[in-house]
Amino acid sequence: MTYLLVKALLSALIIVAVSEIARRSAGLGALVASLPLISVLGMIWLWRDTGDPARMAAHAQATFWYVLPSLPMFLLIPLLLRRGIDFWPALLAGCVLTVLLYAAMTALLSRFGITL
């Protein structure tokens, strides 16, 4: 139980730090948010929990492929906001786009024998 609490608190601290930094400096907040801190922590927790090299390799590779279709969201949201769309609909549109691109990426990769 303590281990789970430590994982949750550390992850929460990173999210709070990013939001506080971004409140003061959008660019610096974006830089910190773009760091793969959560991915690295996830890999550390997974390694500690399983110690399985094959699982870790599969996780790292799948993370790479899933990052790619998430990137257009970070272009769509500011585009919509600058065109006068409110934040929540812009965020929803970005998330919907990401889900659609995840599905497309998964389907495309399966044609090449890559299973996520």
pLDDT digits (tens, 9 = 90+) for 35-54: 788 888 889 999 999 999 99
Q: What is the pTM of this model?
A: 0.77
Residue-level pLDDT at 86: 98
More confident residue, 76 or 116: 76
Alpha carbons 35 and 46: distance in angstroms, whole number: 19
- How many CB atoms lie under 10 A from the CB of residue 110? 11
- Judge whether residue 4 has pLDDT over 90: no
Specify whether the CB–CB gap between 93 and 76 falls below 8 A. yes
88 alpha-carbon distance from chain centroid: 19
pLDDT digits (tens, 9 = 90+) for 5-30: 988 898 888 889 889 998 999 888 88
103 alpha-carbon distance from chain centroid: 16
Residue-level pLDDT at 96: 98
CA-nearest of 97, 109, 112, 34 to 65 is 109
Residue-level pLDDT at 77: 98
Residues with Cβ < 8 Å from 105, sequence gap 6 or more?
Answer: 65, 66, 68, 69, 116
